[in-house]
Amino acid sequence: MIHGLKWLHNASAPVIEARNVCFLEAMEVERDANDEKFGFLVLHSVNIP
């Protein structure tokens, strides 16, 4: 399983307020009962005071 804490800063256009985004990310690939691969990606927002 891959885990990560990511931070993004968006400062694209002058008419849009700059934003900071922080989130936890988890990704994994597994096999089901028929031995077929499946994967998933979970993102969860994190508030940092």
The DSSP line for 12-28 is: --TTS--EEEEEEEEEE
Q: Which residues contact 3 (CB under 8 A, 6 or more apart)?
A: 24, 25, 26
Contact 38, 30 (CB under 8 A): yes
2-26: per-residue pLDDT in tens? 789 898 888 777 777 777 889 999 9
Q: What is the pLDDT of residue 36?
A: 97
Give the whole-angstrom CA distance, residue 47 versus residue 23.
8
Q: What is the pLDDT of residues 27-43, one digit of tens each?
A: 999 999 999 999 999 99
pTM for this predicted structure: 0.58
